[in-house]
Structure 1
């Protein structure tokens, strides 16, 4: 669908009626670009100086053309502002958005392009360059408008229909539409259909983007060797294609080449060091490989990149603290364990102001993190007490907990050894949070962590042996096993309740055994002030009632 000269002229006339907003913190550039726009015939021009000011304005008013500088001084940068506009759906469907920057470094350009603006312009540029780029973007948006309208209404089937129309017309945007179709089909697990559409496009002409999506399609079909070949072809055509590196790493990871996958991502980071997606993926892969040190480094960088993105910071911060803790535990180095408190405090301090100012329950989040530090330093009773004290008003209704607090509580429970309770809480995670790849890898890492797994397996074995012995009536053997289970997981409530139950049974048989009576009292005291789930609470109350009846004569 090639635009004719007449279409171009009509678009240029319509362009002059567009409302333009310029977001730039430099007054001199505002004056310059306003003059350019006025010379081109634009009359509806708004100038804004910061992301904060722009957010407030954009919630009340929409524009047709957004020209946003990447570097906006203090606070959010232009890319983060653009991401916010897209996430909140504040952009009119027929609008265009440009990122503008005076930094022409490769890393800056790739970082800006990662969020997919309609175009990217480097300062300085001429008035004619601005006119041509605006015209090109507006023509593209107009010709693809039915597809974008369907996208905005989340009508994926209609998007596929509109894309097919454009492909059938042999439009210059045919390859782009094939990629859009492939993206949707892959989301719907229709990889074979996506593969066919992409191969048809490649039969017409070679394309790095078609190769990229073909690599993703074959990856979803389970043919990772073929996916690796397609993704290498995409990188041969376009060596700076960061997305190709990302998907290549997924296939390498799937074939068991963990180190190769991480090396691929680290090569990509040298190309685009400000790519948030890359740093998050490195963290995910390193967590999968239990390389907590490198995961911690990537998450630290990610925190800096998302410094003002408060919606994402809690999960990133929680994952960062998680990696610090697991790195310290696995190092079994007194220096790392001793230095953990200072590191966690510094991490929390980095984000405190921005999170508190945006109504996030930072105090609860911080207390859970501090409880996890106590556990990592070997003080499980104190860590458990602090965790339950912090969350005691929430654990009875976990469905009402914020997803960030709930996810951090789950990680703390697993670290504590409350494996069963953590599994129950995990069911209350919102669907989007439960599927979050970073949180998924954090939970998986603690489930499969060597130190914690060994402790959990030993606990489970001793606990199961204790239950078996108790069922068979061998109370002395059951007690030995439950004592061992509690040593392996000192803070595990199930282990404590099981031990209480067998002690109670033994004391009822041997009322003169003061050692058993004292141990029963001490074991019950371990659960004083601890919040329990409904089943545990009912069991504890029953055991406590029976124990008080048994112990009462001893107090006279």
Structure 2
């Protein structure tokens, strides 16, 4: 037996169980390891890797609170802290399909399920060491993100007819596809598939066909790959993209749900779930996927407050669209609980004014509950802070549209930075609300326009009815509220002897929509003038 497999190797064990650390250290010592370090959390492991270039890392998938093993691998790669020669092995006692497949998709150097024998561990390590040594230049080129060099090195290795030929063919095709050299990729894949219908070749051929819009051919290849391996999540991904491209949205939805069930911890996959769910108007699935995106990124290098904001936004958006009161209430509760829960995570919310975000979200929820005036009052209280808080401006726009302040929402939309709108899910939410609001805004515009026409013709009674109908669609719209007040005052003035007390009270109530609210200059002048006219009427009613 070779007891020097790990001689002179710097080893890091990342596991939150002290007992396993000590047992595993003994196993590694028997394989020649004398330089072994420990880290109980992903965060501590990351800190150690920033200072020491470890040769081998054994990382438990579950690490308690904080980063898990998969997230640690993502972080190490993103920060270039995992050297090309280093070996990263995920270790776990759990073998559920979602966890295993999600880990395998990230392609660690190996994946060990507890318990495992010393001989199995030794053979796995030696196999990877040989591969890393022979393909050292290729791993360095991959580390340096040099696809052209990767292609050349793969071609050289394949020409040698080495034992790593299949691996090099797969890496070669992946990089040819990244470089959009589809004809060359197809030549390699055709030759490989003629010898053996391997899963990796079927998948990459399906990808190649999809990129070239050969959707039906790609679907056939996806199906063959899935028949070989029903847990082939990436094949379901491409199948979903193909179905979506040809307009078969229900089939696309079934495919992407199958992929997400097999391996749920992929950001691109969850974004695709959201897009397809949106296309078939499945709001609950959009909420679930946006929550999953937040959970996936919460402890990883991809952590960004925007994922949290989008989850809460999606949930409130679902409540706005929901017609069933009980389901709407569930969405409202979920949004409120998410806001409360995240307050305990200072690292997540410190980069934004979370109090401001919470206030606007609460205003949206209040509006849903019928408290339109309170919602507008909340907006008025925070409006001056918004220009400095770009991340939260979209939420103010959603609120303004929700309460019917369409003109103000449109004006604020032009102030949202272009970089912010690069976020895929936020863009989707904007587009969804635009479609949802457009019909209401059109109806509102027609009623408001009809009211103005009636007013100009001197038919104040008709104008009042039309402006009131417009306000039912946009209950806090400043312009329409002022129109209604103006028409009501004119109608009351025309009723010299039999003025309607009911109309007077309705007019008085309408003033609440604009009282103590920040108003553009043109509305402010008009408001003051109408208030003076109304005060005259008030005095006359008192006599």
Task: Indicate whether the TM-score tops 0.5.
Answer: yes
Distance in 2 between the 1:200 and 1:442 partners?
Answer: 45
Question: Match for residue 355 of structure 2?
Answer: 363
1:90 to 59, 72, 81: 81
Instruction: Find the residue that maps to 2:230 and give its secondary structure.
Output: coil
* 1:123 positional shift: 1.5
- Does the 8 A contact of 2:16 with 2:64 survive in 1? yes
Spell out, residue by residue over 1:523-544, the C-alpha distance to the aligned partner (whole angstroms, 9 max, x if none).
786456656xxxxx7xx21442
Question: Match for residue 521 of structure 2?
Answer: 541
Distance in 2 between the 1:285 and 1:250 partners?
Answer: 9
* 1:406 positional shift: 4.3
- Does the 8 A contact of 1:340 with 1:373 survive in 2? no
Identify if the C-alpha distance between structure 1 residues 67 and 416 changes in structure 2 by more than 3 Å, giving closer, same or farther: farther
- Does the 8 A contact of 1:23 with 1:49 survive in 2? yes
* 1:24 positional shift: 0.7
Distance in 1 between the 2:370 and 2:54 partners?
Answer: 57
Identify if the C-alpha distance between structure 1 residues 229 and 506 changes in structure 2 by more than 3 Å, giving closer, same or farther: same
Question: Match for residue 237 of structure 1?
Answer: 228
Q: List gaps (5 residues or longer) in structure 1.
A: 1-8, 532-536
Question: Match for residue 375 of structure 1?
Answer: 367
Instruction: Find the residue that maps to 1:20 and give its secondary structure.
Output: strand
* 1:37 positional shift: 2.4
Distance in 1 between the 2:178 and 2:511 partners?
Answer: 56
Find out whether 1:20 has 2:11 as its counterpart. Answer: yes
Spell out, residue by residue over 1:71-116, the C-alpha distance to the aligned partner (whole angstroms, 9 max, x if none).
2123332222222323333333432311111113333311221322
Find out whether 1:31 has 2:22 as its counterpart. Answer: yes
Question: Match for residue 474 of structure 2?
Answer: 489
Instruction: Find the residue that maps to 2:36 and give its secondary structure.
Output: strand
Instruction: Find the residue that maps to 2:179 and give its secondary structure.
Output: helix
Question: Match for residue 258 of structure 2?
Answer: 267
Distance in 1 between the 2:480 and 2:252 partners?
Answer: 45
Alignment of 1:217-296 (within 5 A): 217-272=208-263, 278-296=269-287
Alignment of 1:139-288 (within 5 A): 139-170=130-161, 171-185=165-179, 194-195=185-186, 198-199=189-190, 201-203=192-194, 205-272=196-263, 278-288=269-279
Distance in 1 between the 2:515 and 2:151 partners?
Answer: 60
- Does the 8 A contact of 1:179 with 1:209 survive in 2? no
Instruction: Find the residue that maps to 2:64 and give its secondary structure.
Output: coil
- Does the 8 A contact of 1:100 with 1:120 survive in 2? yes
1:69 to 41, 45, 60: 60
* 1:124 positional shift: 1.9
Comparing 20-29 with 320-329, greater Cα deviation is found at: 320-329
Distance in 1 between the 2:176 and 2:401 partners?
Answer: 39
Identify if the C-alpha distance between structure 1 residues 263 and 23 changes in structure 2 by more than 3 Å, giving closer, same or farther: same
- Does the 8 A contact of 1:280 with 1:438 survive in 2? yes
- Does the 8 A contact of 1:216 with 1:227 survive in 2? yes
- Does the 8 A contact of 1:380 with 1:490 survive in 2? yes
Question: Match for residue 3 of structure 1?
Answer: none
Question: Match for residue 439 of structure 1?
Answer: 426
- Does the 8 A contact of 2:481 with 2:514 survive in 1? no
Q: List gaps (5 residues or longer) in structure 2.
A: 537-543
Instruction: Find the residue that maps to 2:53 and give its secondary structure.
Output: coil
Q: CA RMSD in A?
A: 4.3
* 1:149 positional shift: 3.9
Distance in 2 between the 1:424 and 1:150 partners?
Answer: 49
* 1:412 positional shift: 3.9
* 1:383 positional shift: 2.2
- Does the 8 A contact of 1:166 with 1:177 survive in 2? no
Spell out, residue by residue over 1:488-520, the C-alpha distance to the aligned partner (whole angstroms, 9 max, x if none).
22345xxx347758988999x999779999999
Distance in 1 between the 2:288 and 2:380 partners?
Answer: 30
1:448 to 432, 435, 445: 435
Spell out, residue by residue over 1:240-294, the C-alpha distance to the aligned partner (whole angstroms, 9 max, x if none).
1111112211222233322222222333344346666655543442233221123
* 1:70 positional shift: 0.7
Distance in 2 between the 1:553 and 1:142 partners?
Answer: 89
1:401 to 390, 399, 424: 390
Distance in 2 between the 1:169 and 1:456 partners?
Answer: 68
Comparing 437-446 with 474-483, greater Cα deviation is found at: 474-483
* 1:184 positional shift: 1.4
Count of residues in Structure 1 that have an aligned counterpart in Structure 2: 523
